[in-house]
Amino acid sequence: MKKKTGRISTGALSLISFCVIIAAWCILTYGGFLNEIFMPSPTAVWNSLLEMAGDGSLWEHCFLSTKRVMIGWFWSAVAALPIGMLMARSKCFSAVIQPIIEFARYLPVVALVPLTILYLGIDENQKYVIIFLGTFFQLVLMVCDTVSSIEKNMLNAASTLGANKLQLYTEVIFPAALPGLMDDFRMTIGWAWTYLVVAEMVAASAGLGYIILKSQRFLATDVIFAGLIMIGLIGLVTDFILRILTKIIVPWHERLGD
């Protein structure tokens, strides 16, 4: 949220908060307050990042993980969009679907991993399915909520202007819900990363989740931190891209705090 202080100073604030965390990290590790095995120093983490970047493995892991997140999340969004919209608009449809969704969304995804391995083996599809299961049910409910909160007046106006049922969806409901949907997408893509790590920790031979788990066995905390930092950075970049995209797709939208 940008206050009257303007762009530069809010950017500066963000930078300061980052610097404080790094400074604390430096003091705790270089000062010898923490055991190197539990908390590696910035230098150690930096070196392991450089090493993995040097042999190219870092980029492979990042690319593979990002690809899994994107594909799993993409299918979840594609499926959740129409179902969530219909749920918001049709009482009957909602009565049929809602209980299933509500039930399914309380199943911890981790508990479903054995089943997915049984059904699908440990290939890429299994990773996509885990991410799909982790995000789909939540996203359906979020889409439903977003669509339900569209102003009734707008729909009334459209139908008295002669819009038929299909046109109501394509010309009014979808565009009116779009700003909210972009937010929903941004949230769930974050969760997709969580489920990716779940998928990669259990059965994978590459990916950021995999190197984190593997490093635990060798007490290579510097590599664990390197992996965590990469996940955080990719998340940050994705979030940033989606925010920019939102500004481009729905320039008409007025947001509190803008």
Partner 1 sequence: MDKIKLKVTNLQKVFPANGRREKDLDALKDINLEVRESEFVVMVGPSGCGKSTLINIIGGLADATEGSVEIDGREVSGPGADRGMVFQGYSLFPWLTVQKNIEFGLKMKKVPKAERAKIAQEYIQLVGLSGFENALPKQLSGGMKQRVAIARTLANQPEILLMDEPFGALDAQTRVVMQELLAKISRETKNTILFITHDIDEAILLADRIYVMSRRPGTIREVMEVNIPGERNHEILVTPEFLAMKRKIMEMLWQESQDAALDK
Binding stretches for partner 1 (CB under 8 A): 151, 153-154, 156-164, 167, 171-172, 175-176, 178, 250, 252-254
> What minimum distance in Å lies between the beta carbon of 256 and partner 1?
13
Residue 1 Cβ vs partner 1, minimum distance, rounded to whole Å:
19
Query: What is the distance between the terminal CA atoms of the chain, rounded to a whole angstrom?
Result: 7
* Residues 90, 232 contacting (CB under 8 angstroms): no
- How far is the C-alpha of 198 from the C-alpha of 217, rounded, in Å? 17
**Closer of 177 and 197 to partner 1 (Cβ):** 177
Of 120 and 168, nearer to partner 1 (C-beta) is 168
Q: Least distance (Å) from partner 1 to the CB of residue 166?
A: 10
Query: Shortest Cβ distance from residue 140 to partner 1 (Å)?
Result: 24
Residue 21 to residue 203: CA distance in whole angstroms: 33
CA 199 to chain centre: 15
CB of 167 to partner 1, least distance (A): 6
CB of residue 193 to partner 1, shortest distance in Å: 30
- Taking the least distance from each CB to partner 1, the nearer of 159 and 194 is 159
Max Cα separation, the chain? Answer: 73
Structure tokens at 95: 């009565």
Instruction: Count other Cβ atoms within 10 Å, centred on residue 12.
Output: 12
Whether 200 contacts 127, CB under 8 Å: yes
Q: What are phi and psi of 41, to 5 degrees?
A: -80, 160
Tokens of 58: 């870092």
| For partner 1, the closer CB: 34 or 178 | 178
Report d(CA 155, CA 159) in Å as an integer: 6
CA distances from 60 to 35, 213, 218 (A): 31, 16, 21
CB of 165 to partner 1, least distance (A): 11
Nearer to partner 1, 85 or 212 (CB): 85
Q: Are 37 and 219 in contact (CB under 8 A)?
A: yes
